[in-house]
Amino acid sequence: MEVYDDRDDVQETALSLRLNYDGGSSHLSTGDHPRPQAATPVEPSLTLVLPSMACSVKRENDGRISDEEEDGAARKKLRLTKEQSALLEDKFKEHATLNPKQKQALARQLNLRPRQVEVWFQNRRARTKLKKTEVECEFLRKCCETLREENRRLLQEIQELKSLDLQAPRYMHPPGGAAAGTFQTCPSCKNRDEGGSPAVAPKTRFFNPFAHSAAY
DNA sequence: AGAGTCAAACAGCACT
DNA sequence: AGTGCTGTTTGACTCT
C-alpha cells in the first residue's frame, strides 16, 4: 500500500491514497501522480483523492522534489505564457544547461520556481535531441534508398555483362595443347604470359553515406 | 464527446 | 549530493 502526497509539484493539495498489489511489498512515497514502472506493472490499483485533506509535507525547494505554494490551493497544470516561453527559448539558445545561479535568476525573472525552470530545460533538451534523432533517421533512410538503387543498378550491369559474355568469342587458357589454335587467348592471360602485370579488376564504386554526409 | 497532440511534471537510473 | 537523461503520466488544448 502506498500513500501519496498527490500535489503535482507545488500547487496540488489533494492527497492520493493508492493501494497497489505489488506482491506484498509496501512503502510510503511522496511525489507526483505515481505510475507503475514499465518493467513491473502493479495492477490493479486503487487511487483515492481527498481534496479536503491537503497534505502539507514540505520538501526542499532546490532538491529534485517540489516545494509548496503559499496558498496551498489545488493547482491547475501550469501553462507558460508566451513571454515566459520566449525568454526561456532565448536562454536556451545561449546555453542548453543552467547552473544553479542562472536557474535562480531566470526563475526570479520569470516569476517561476527554480524547479519549473529546471524541468523546462530538461524537457527542452529532450525535444532537441528527439528532433536531431529524427533528422538523422531521415538521413539514414535516404542513404539506404541510395544504396538500394546502386545495388539494383549494379545487379543489372552484371546481367548485361553476362549476356554480352554469351555472345562474345570463346576464350581459353592455353595449355599449349593441339587444339589451342582454335581458340583465342583471353586478354588477361595474354598479358600475363607476355610478362605484363596482371589485369586489375576495376575499383568497385562503393557509396559510403557517412563519407558524403554534411550533417555529421 | 472522444481522439490526438503538446508540454509540464515526475520517477528512476547513471554519471561525476 | 547534485545533475542530466530517459521514459512515463497527465492536464490543457485542438481537431474531427
Query: A132 CA to B4 C1', in Å?
Result: 23
Cα gap A31→A115, rounded to integer Å:
14
Give which of A138, A106, A108, A141 is closest to A121, Cα–Cα: A106
Cβ within 7 A of any strand B atom: A 7-10, 29-32, 34-35, 37, 64-66, 77-80, 85, 115-116, 119-120, 122-124, 127
What pTM did the predictor assign?
A: 0.54
Q: Which residue is nearest to nucleotide B12 (CA to C1')?
A: A37
Domain limits, chain A: 80-167
**What is the enclosing helix (H) or strand (E) of A142?**
helix A114-167
Protein-contacted positions of strand B (CB under 7 Å): 7-13
Which residues, 6+ apart, have CB-to-CB distance to A37 below 8 Å? none
Would you give per-residue pLDDT tens digits along chain A (216 residues)? 323 333 333 333 322 332 232 322 333 233 333 333 333 332 332 222 323 223 322 333 333 444 333 333 333 567 888 888 888 988 888 888 888 888 888 888 888 888 888 889 988 888 888 888 888 888 888 999 999 999 999 999 999 999 988 887 665 555 554 444 445 555 555 555 555 444 444 444 444 544 444 333
What CATH number should be reported for the domain whose range is A80-167? 1.10.10.60
Q: Determine the nucleotide nearest to A97 by Cα–C1' distance.
A: C4
Query: A99 CA to C4 C1', in Å?
Result: 12
Cβ within 7 A of any strand C atom: A 8, 33-36, 38, 62-64, 76-77, 79, 97-100, 118, 121-123, 125-126, 129
Query: A86 CA to C12 C1', in Å?
Result: 19
Q: Which residue is nearest to nucleotide B10 (CA to C1')?
A: A32
Give which of A114, A115, A106, A64 is closest to A84, Cα–Cα: A106
Q: SS3 for A97?
A: coil
Question: Strand A184-185 relative to strand A171-172: parallel, antiparallel, unpaired?
Answer: parallel
A17, A4 contact by CB (below 8 A): yes
Query: A211 CA to B15 C1', in Å?
Result: 33
- Which three cell numbers mark A114? 527554480
Q: SS3 for A17?
A: strand
